[in-house]
A and B are shown apart, each in its own frame.
Chain A
């Protein structure tokens, strides 16, 4: 049980509720057992020495028991199942909090779908184990012996007949249940095959139409869909076998009771009321018997899921320091002979050194895969670096708390990510508690304010899945606005203007230039035209700096940088932001 310690601790926190609920389970089930016996008495009363006072008394008693039982049954359910939802909620929040503190490499090696599944499927399985499984197994464990006491007291032989089929029921439910569970997994798999096929077709619709593949794609879906139907048919068959069979088994007890009971009544060994009571007991017990088989499966699934959740809890968090007051860094960056490779693979950085003075601008250029973004990944503490390599204001990066480090950096990553929130909230993401005036200002700086104003609800327009979709260029500019709104002393741009047309790029860069006058900036880019004013430009290739200097000195050098620069000018001349072409 120690292998899911965190979940256990949350269960322990609710032990009072679970205990109280259990008390109600006991009361309810014991009261449940009285009713068939009273009905049996009533029948005997009616069929033999008839007395209305006694009948009223019994009916009154039944009524009373039922009323009390209704109340206790309510509390039993409400308290236990309610507690299970609370535990689920606690674990869910704790797990999310944990995710928020896990290092990025974890996310690169874990699929989003798998993580979401921990929160959905696995958490549900755990909750089922805590709530319904506990309640039903207690139900069964109390009802069964309690009913047996009553039944044995009345007639031992009949009791045995009545109970004969019950082990089979429990066994059957457990066996077929696990097959059904496996079958459902297959159904879900084939369902997601259908989904991804459809999704892929929608994304690649142009290719499909251009190469006239519609019929073939239809045929493919047809096969996938048939497979889905086939898997469903398997489950339908199992369910068709199981559910009516359960009915048969529990009714078998009924027939046995009636058949042998009749002989006993006639020979005077027992009364008609007893038989009626037994018939009712068989009905009362059949659900707990069914649930016993089912409960075992739930416990198996629940513990497996709890273990999977614990695996996530076991992943080590990023270093967490709490500070009373965060003093921003001044902004000098020093990198001394930096080497790095992802997961021990090819060297992504091979001996990189540079210094950016407080307020200086460094540009990093080079072809795709030359290691440019890796530098920023390391400078933001996303990946660990060893001591003695990266320094801010003369302090080793490992000695600066992540909170302090990150609050000093405004960072625009390569792939723009917008949240499904309003435009304003997306921009304000860069600074907690930003007012609408500064949001608008930031948007103006990022040359996106006119376009935002044209959105259906302006700054309150919701973006993303549930809102409007915006173009790549607009997305990037909103992300830039985020960086503008931040008052961090250091700015990192990672190829953040690739989808913005040249004219707009120039406007933004001019604004950046004004805005970063006092800021330290590291700009990674593929477009060389954008960074001619940088204090130093690094030209990277295969993890190494192969040329460095100012734009002028690099052009004079007439090496790789100059070659790439000329090449880009040719392309750009074919593709200029036409209206502003002269201003380039």
Chain B
């Protein structure tokens, strides 16, 4: 990629205006296909809450109808019902957890595929502006945040609200006066929980940031350890690490502080509730207006209130922050690809003549990388581009394969504008060898074949022997089935280039586009590469960005490119005779 567009600082995180509500609506679009299942889950949730609050009520019946009256008739049945309620609740809870958990995973799967598919459909300039790390975060971490939004957010909020309503309902059903007195603690509880959740949210943010800083500093220090040691920056690094580490510990400890404060306070409020029940309930029992079982049931119900209210306060925060991060995903999904498939793609013309017709191109604004470039390649012709770096050679290939679209002018194949052909159809015309020979973390064979069905080991051996490199891969531990590791790091630079040559040859497309690598490799591999290039070009229209003399001698025509313009055209001999830029460039070798 050309240097000039690197520091552009186009912000990839431009967030279009999304309110939490629109984000929520977008997300619910993903739930809709599973609406029936989601509905069942919610019904289960309500059912489970009813069973939950039925339990203290049964205790009340046991006390008031049996224990205090001494009437054991029907008591065993009541206990069996009690037991049955537990078992039913267990099944319901199991089903509810399974349904919502798996549903969440399915939704995340769909969302992940959407995000990934969308990224793959973007044009190359998108990848120039968005760092790999940021895009990865969208498909992995951000999608998982949305899972939180769904499970701990929406589902759990619904669940807890139905529990709280259930508890309040049973209280009022048993005795509305005592209920009113008891419920006096609810605002206090909620206030406490909300305040706590607020504090904790702020601290969590600090902790999250602090952890990220510490870990990235750690990782960087390990990667740059040699430099730190050689430049004697051990004390400096240690000081900085200590700073991050201490700061993180400080945040963790204040986290402990608030948790430490919160739980006892919660208990304390609960105790106020208990005292209220005992005293006012005691009075009412004395007056004979309620029975003792009601009082016991109330004590249990107050206890049961804590969990859902605390969770509600926390869930609300999760919901809000997850909604905020979901904006990033939806912003990405709303970014439209610039290089698109035409609505009504034309078929590929039979004539495969390539024509650049007054092509202008800029990666950014008016900084022209190509200026008014015009040339023809007849089917079967082999041409080369040479010129200083930054002259725009690679851009020509980028445009031909529609990694980018031209800014002005046209590129025609057999007279048809390539923008009217589907990009996939167009690209299937080319065997492409890029400058950096990217390899996937797969086997050598898989890297050569790239999913082609017709590509067997025999085929690969044929291809390699045509290139004269078959022995080269035999020497690897597992031959063609050797895993090449991340970015092909098990292979040398030259071996990687050979693999990408073999990939192009195995694909056997009509037109070769080759961007020769400049990086120097060892003598032996270099000679293999030199021998392989003519094989690649055999019987194929070829467009080559050449760095090797051997390549240049094999082509029909050379275009000399300088500052985005074609300034000379001809064969090696003709260009030398022309005594222009090419001749000067070449002659420098002889004159020193």
Which of A's residues lie within 8 Å of B, judged by CB? Answer: 39, 42-43, 45-47, 50, 52, 55-56, 58-59, 62-63, 66-67, 69-71, 73-75, 77-78, 81-82, 85-86, 88-89, 92-93, 96-97, 99-102, 104, 107, 112, 115-116, 119-120, 191, 194-196, 198-214, 216-218, 221-222, 225-226, 228-229, 232-233, 236-237, 239-241, 243-245, 247-248, 251-252, 255, 258-259, 261-263, 265-266, 272, 275-276, 279, 283, 318, 367-369, 380, 382, 402-403, 406-407, 409, 411, 413, 417, 419-420, 429-430, 432, 454-456, 464-466, 468-471, 473-474, 482, 486, 501, 526, 566, 569-578, 581, 584
Q: Which residue of B lies closest to A251 (CB)?
A: B86
Q: Closest CB of chain B to A86's CB: distance in Å?
A: 7
5 contacts between A and B (CB under 8 A): A39-B299, A42-B278, A46-B278, A258-B82, A469-B7
Q: Mark B544-556, 1 if CB is under 8 A from A, else 0.
A: 0011110000000
Give the CA-CA distance A107 to B440 in the complex, in Å. Answer: 24
Smallest Cβ distance from B371 to chain A, in angstroms?
15
Residues B72 and A226 in contact, CB atoms below 8 Å apart: no
Query: When the two chains form their complex, are residues A93 and B245 in contact, meaning their CB atoms are under 8 A apart?
Result: yes
- The yes or no answer to B187 lying at the interface (CB within 8 A) is no
Pick the residue among A63, A207, A574 that contacts B386 (CB under 8 A): A574
Max chain A Cβ within 10 angstroms of own Cβ: one of B66, B82, B275, B386: B275
Question: Known: A417-B227, A468-B9. Is A429-B233 also a contact (CB below 8 A)?
Answer: yes
B113–A218 CB distance below 8 A: yes
Cβ B102 vs Cβ A236 within 8 A: yes
> How many angstroms from the CA of A503 to the CA of B158 in the assembled complex?
68
Extra pairs beyond A116-B219, A206-B403, A228-B109 (19, CB < 8 Å): A39-B274, A46-B281, A56-B279, A77-B256, A116-B218, A203-B438, A204-B438, A207-B434, A209-B427, A210-B434, A214-B120, A218-B120, A248-B87, A263-B72, A272-B292, A276-B299, A368-B522, A407-B232, A464-B220
Q: Is the beta-carbon distance between A218 and B116 smaller than 8 angstroms?
A: yes
Residue B348 interfacial (CB < 8 Å) = no
Q: Which residues of A contact B296 (CB under 8 A)?
A: 43, 276
Question: For B131, what are the chain A residues with a Cβ–Cβ distance below 8 Å?
Answer: 469
**Complex: how many Å from CA A305 to CA B116?**
36
Residues of A within 8 A of B87 (CB): 248
In this complex, what residue of B is CB-closest to A32? B267
Known: A212-B428, A578-B562. A471 touches B522 (CB 8 A): no
Contact call B275/A216, Cβ cutoff below 8 A: no
The answer to whether B30 has its CB under 8 Å from any CB of chain A is no
Q: How far is the CA of A56 from the CA of B135 in the complex (A)?
A: 65
A380-B230 in contact given A86-B249, A575-B388 (Cβ < 8 Å): yes
Do B218 and A96 have beta carbons less than 8 Å apart?
A: yes
A67 touches B268 (CB 8 A): yes
Q: Which residues of B contact A241 (CB under 8 A)?
A: 94
**Which residues of chain A are within 8 angstroms of B34 by Cβ–Cβ distance?**
none
Contact of A210 with B427 at beta-carbon distance under 8 Å, contacts A216-B451, A236-B102 already known: yes
Indicate if the CB atoms of B253 and A85 lie closer than 8 Å: yes
Assembled-state Cα–Cα distance A217/B120 (Å): 9
Whether A202 pairs with B119 at a CB distance below 8 angstroms is: yes
Which A residues touch B308, using CB under 8 A?
none
Provide the bound-state CA to CA distance between A52 and B441, in Å.
79
Q: Does B24 contact A (CB under 8 A)?
A: no
Give chain B nearest CB distance to A5 CB in angstroms: 21
Docked-complex contact B79 and A255, CB < 8 angstroms: yes
Q: Is B181 in contact with chain A by the CB < 8 A criterion? A: no
A276: B residues at CB distance < 8 A: 296, 299
Instruction: Name B484-530 residues within 8 Å CB distance of A.
Output: 486-487, 492-493, 503, 507, 518, 520-523
- Residue in A75, A217, A473, A573 whose Cβ sees the most chain B Cβ within 10 Å: A573
- Report yes or no: B109 in contact with A570, Cβ–Cβ below 8 A: no
Tell me if B3 is interfacial: C-beta within 8 Å of chain A.
Answer: yes
Interface: B222 (CB within 8 A): yes
Write out the residue numbers on chain A whose beta carbons fall within 8 Å of the beta carbon of B386: 574
Q: Given A59-B278, A85-B252, A66–B267 Cβ distance below 8 Å? A: yes
- Residues of A near B546 (CB, < 8 A) are 574
- Is there an interface contact between A211 and B253, defined as CB atoms closer than 8 Å? no
Give complex CA distance A577, B391 in Å. 10
- When the two chains form their complex, are residues A574 and B547 in contact, meaning their CB atoms are under 8 A apart? yes
- Expressed in whole angstroms, the minimum distance between the Cβ of B237 and any Cβ of chain A is 6
B401 pairs with A258, CB closer than 8 A? no
Task: Tell me if B533 counts as interface (CB < 8 A to partner A).
Answer: no
Task: Evaluate contact between B132 and A202: CB separation under 8 angstroms.
Answer: yes
Q: Please, which residue of chain B has its CB at the minimum distance from the CB of A50?
A: B286
State the CA gap A468–B129 with chains docked (Å). Answer: 11
B268 & A66 in contact (Cβ 8 Å cutoff): yes
Q: Is the CB of B136 within 8 A of A566?
A: no
In Å, the complex CA distance between A59 and B299 comes to 13
Do the beta carbons of B225 and A578 come within 8 Å of each other? no
Query: Interface with A: B35-43, B357-365, B475-483, B581-589, which one?
Result: B581-589
CB–CB B256/A73 < 8 A: no
Interface residues of B in 200-232 (CB under 8 A from A): 215-232
Task: Check B263 against A77 for contact (C-beta < 8 Å).
Answer: yes
Are B279 and A100 interface neighbours, CB within 8 A? no
B contact residues around A100 at 8 Å (CB) = 221, 225, 228-229, 234, 237-238
Question: Are A229 and B106 closer than 8 Å at their CB atoms?
Answer: yes
Query: Are B132 and A203 within 8 A (Cβ)?
Result: yes
Structural contact, A211 and B132, CB atoms closer than 8 A: no
Given the interface contacts A206-B434, A276-B299, does A97 sit within 8 Å of B588 by beta carbon? no
**Contact assessment for A85 and B94 in the assembled complex, using a CB-CB cutoff below 8 Å:** no
The reply to whether A43 and B295 contact each other, CB–CB distance below 8 Å, is yes
Q: Within the complex, which residue of B82, B227, B228 is in contact with A255, where a contact is CB–CB below 8 Å?
A: B82
Query: Does A244 contact B68, Cβ atoms closer than 8 Å?
Result: no
Q: Nearest chain A CB to B126's CB is how many angstroms away? A: 9
Contacts of A63 in B (CB 8 A): 271, 275
Asked if B401 and A116 sit within 8 Å, CB to CB, the answer is no
| B97 located at the interface, meaning its Cβ lies under 8 Å from any Cβ of chain A in the complex | yes
Asked if residues A233 and B434 are in contact (CB atoms below 8 Å), the reply is no
B7 touches A470 (CB 8 A): yes
B28 contacts chain A at the CB level, 8 A cutoff? no
- Could you tell me if B94 and A265 are in contact, using CB atoms closer than 8 angstroms? no
Q: Does B172 contact A (CB under 8 A)?
A: no
CB neighbours of A275 from chain B (8 A): 67
Indicate whether B21 reaches chain A with its CB closer than 8 angstroms: no
Cross-interface CB contact of B120 among A69, A107, A194, A208, cutoff 8 Å: A208
In the assembled complex, which residues on chain B have CB atoms less than 8 Å from the CB atom of A367? 520, 522-523
CA distance A576 to B588 in the complex (A): 10
Q: A92, A454, A581: which has the most chain B beta carbons within 10 Å?
A: A92
Q: How far is the CA of A52 from the CA of B139 in the complex (A)?
A: 65
Q: How far is the CA of A45 from the CA of B283 in the complex (A)?
A: 12
Complex CA gap A196/B132 in Å reads 11
Ranked 7 nearest A-B pairs via Cβ? A70-B264, A236-B101, A240-B97, A210-B432, A244-B93, A77-B260, A578-B388
B420 CB to closest chain A CB (Å) equals 18
Q: Give the distance to chain A from B579, nearest Cβ to Cβ, in Å.
A: 15
Is residue B117 contacting chain A, with contact meaning CB distance below 8 A? yes
> Counting CB contacts under 8 A, is B413 at the interface?
no
User: Closest Cβ of chain B: how far from A225's Cβ, in Å?
Assistant: 5
* Contact for B98 among A221, A236, A261, CB less than 8 A: A236
CB-based contact B109/A229 at 8 Å: yes
CB pair B388 A577 closer than 8 Å: yes
Determine how close the nearest CB of chain A comes to the CB of B80; give it in whole angstroms. Answer: 9
Interchain CA distance A430-B233 in the complex, whole Å: 9
Shortest CB distance B171–A (Å): 18
Contact A55 B279 (CB under 8 A): yes
Min Cβ gap B485→A in Å is 11
- The reply on B375 being an interface residue by CB < 8 A is no
Are the CB atoms of A206 and B264 closer together than 8 Å? no
A266 near B136 (CB under 8 angstroms)?
no
Is B112 an interface residue when CB atoms closer than 8 A count as contact?
yes
| Distance in Å: Cβ of B216 to nearest Cβ of chain A | 6
Contact of B140 among A198, A233, A581 (CB under 8 A): A198
Of A70, A81, A407, which contacts B265 at CB under 8 A? Answer: A70
**Contact A119–B434 (Cβ < 8 Å):** no
**Within the complex, what minimum Cβ distance (angstroms) separates A124 from chain B?**
11
